Amino acid sequence: MLQATVWALTGIGIGFVLLVYLYVFVQSGKQADTATVTAGFYRIRPWWFGVLAVVMVVAAAFTLPQLPYADTHNRAATPPDLTVQVVGHQWYWELSQNEVPVNKDIAFEVTAKDVNHSFAIYDESGRMVAQTQAMPGYTNILRYRFDTPGTYKLLCLEYCGVVHHAMRSDFVVTAENGEAQQ
Ligand code: CUA
């Protein structure tokens, strides 16, 4: 749904830019009085600035609260329920455990042994739920709470060599009673 909306908006944007180019192309042969054109644009400019300012403030107000950073920083102040060590290798993930219970505040301590990888967790519908870089010599902490049990996929999102595409494994989130839900 979101993807379709983004595609539609992108299509409309491309169409608009194309129309502007066509208009400029068609008009380019015509002569016009510079003073008249300049005066016209100078009249629009303050309004245009105002419209853009309002659009940007509204867009920022709606989208900034959605950023996950604040949530991560707030949680960093409290200790996690569980810590999972993650090491990226060419070309596999090494985890201290491949199974965690649902509704626990998990801290993934993510690093790499060789080159940069990207640690991404996908749910069963193929939606990415969390992601961070796996870098050699550095540990990134990814805090996440799974609210749905199931078998998640761990994928590498950063090109890390010829077998990058096969760098994936399963990660099981069990229900409260300890059973993985099917
Ligand atoms: Cu590891 Cu791509």
Query: What pLDDT is recorded for position 153?
Result: 96
Please state the atom number of ligand 1 nearest to the C-alpha of residue 90: 1
Residues of the chain with pLDDT under 50: 180-182
Contact 120, 155 (CB under 8 A): yes
167 lines ligand 1 (CB under 6 A): yes
| C-alpha to C-alpha distance for 104 and 179, rounded to whole angstroms | 15
Contact 116, 135 (CB under 8 A): yes
pLDDT tens per residue across span 135-145? 999 999 999 99
Query: What pLDDT is recorded for position 30?
Result: 83
Query: What pLDDT is recorded for position 93?
Result: 96
| C-alpha to C-alpha distance for 118 and 158, rounded to whole angstroms | 5
| C-alpha to C-alpha distance for 120 and 157, rounded to whole angstroms | 7
Tell how far the Cα of 133 is from the centroid of ligand 1, in angstroms: 10
Element (H, E) at 173: strand 168-174
Kindly report the protein residue whose alpha carbon is nearest to atom 1 of ligand 1. 117
Query: What pLDDT is recorded for position 37?
Result: 81
120 lines ligand 1 (CB under 6 A): no
Tell how far the Cα of 112 is from the centroid of ligand 1, in angstroms: 10
Nearest 5°: the CA angle 175, 181, 182 is 170
